[in-house]
Amino acid sequence: MISQLEKEVTFRFLKTRKNDGFLNIISIFSFIGISLGVAVLIIVMSVMNGFRTELISKIVGFNAHAVVQLGGKSKKYIQDLDSVKNIVSNDGEAVILNKDVTKGVFLKGYLESDFRNLQIVKNEEFMGSKNLNDNNISVGKELSFNLNVDIGDTITIMSPAGIQTLVGTLPKQENFKIVSIFDSGLSDFNENIAYINLETLESFFNRSTEDRFIEFYFKDPKNIEIHKKNLISLFPDALVYTWSDMNKSLFSALKVERNVMFIILSLIIIVAAFNIISGLTIFVKNKTRDIGILKSIGVSNKSIKKIFFLVGFFIGTSATLFGVVVGTLFSIYVENIRQFISNILGISLFPEDIYMLNSMPSEININSILIISLCSIITTILVSIYPASKASSLDTAKTLKYE
């Protein structure tokens, strides 16, 4: 427990005085350093959390949550998964020929009824018809720009599947009419993927219905590892892969980057916290006379130690709380701040072609804030122990010898 005397002496010591000029500067820099470290950590973690969540949202919204390739085996287990939506699909790689432009493309085939229910078709960025029949094709926004085509234009696609002729095997070519343009929010997907009718795709690539995949869409796609285990148990002889498997390297890199950034930025707090040691050490030296007086009137060494510990703890805790407020506010308005700085300086601080997102995302995580705050306060507590112990060990007679 903290006695009333200890509280009063602590708050008295915290008040700035004119003759403590250099000490006040150290205290101010300690406060600013800890606040800045906490705020920067919260901002960086919030932006990285937001980036990861936004990326998952776009990838999950564009891709199937899980795909099962049965390889011609029985599909009897489909009805057992009544908590999810499942549809059939197929895909293949081909080459688009349009005037002087040649472009590789990944074609995905769906039945017309299934194509209408895809998330990417339901969003506001989708333009054109949802009728995916015969030789109709739906292309991405970036792909349409690269090919310089629009809705209603016709493109030629060449399949690796061959046609037997008198002169040998020739690649199969067909004309497709662009009926719609989609925008997944990810430029790589928009540039390299197109949709056609499933039956048209199977004819184009010489595939049979036995080669079809089953795509699964779950209510909670973030818990994909659990769903994958369930699918593997249901389809033990099939190939099962998920959106997480297809983007494993990307999210592993994000996780490593997030952990490294946390460690590096934590050093700011540690360096600032060590200023408290120097500040409190000088403070103890300046308050030698006061310590002697307190001891002479019966204040115990334990109380002296507690008083100087509370001084350091108060500076660190108040700086941490201030940093939390600043960091949280900055995280909330980070996109507005980015736009303001970009407009003032005339530069792009978050290029869409690099980060695949058109705005800077931010997701405030309460657990992250608590961990950052706890680390900061614990660091403050640890660095306050030594100066406080030094103050309590001063000899009363020596402190008052020359007074």
CA separation for the pair 89, 219 (Å, rounded): 20
Query: In the prediction, which pLDDT does 80 show?
Result: 46
The stretches of 63-75 forming alpha helices (DSSP H) are none
Question: Would the pTM of this model clear 0.85, i.e. be above it?
Answer: no
Average pLDDT of the segment spanning 120-132: 88
Helix/strand/coil for 106:
strand
Q: Are 182 and 120 in contact (CB under 8 A)?
A: yes
Q: How confident is the model at residue 164 (pLDDT cuts 50, 70, 90)?
A: low
DSSP state of 211: G
- Which of 5-9, 286-290, 348-352 is the least confident region? 348-352
8-state DSSP, 359: S
Phi, psi dihedrals of residue 310, rounded to the nearest 5° = -65, -35
Residue 206 to residue 90: CA distance in whole angstroms: 12
Please tell me which of 196-210, 249-263, 387-401 the model is most confident about, judged by mean pLDDT.
196-210
Alpha-carbon distance of 383 to 403, in angstroms, equals 30
Q: What mean pLDDT comes out for the span 254-259?
A: 78
Q: Tell me: pLDDT of 338 over 90.
A: no
Average pLDDT of the residues in 132-158: 91
**The pLDDT of residue 17 is above 60:** no
Find how far residue 66's CA is from the centre of its chain.
Answer: 22
SS3 assignment, position 246: helix
Task: Give the mean model confidence (pLDDT) for residues 295-307.
Answer: 77
Q: CB under 8 Å to 137, separation ≥6 — which residues?
A: 155, 157, 176, 177, 178, 179, 194, 195, 196
* CA neighbor of 323 nearest in space, from 372, 282, 359: 372
pLDDT digits (tens, 9 = 90+) for 27-56: 777 788 888 888 888 888 888 888 888 777
Q: Provide CB contacts within 8 A for 71, sequence distance 6+.
A: 211, 237, 238, 239
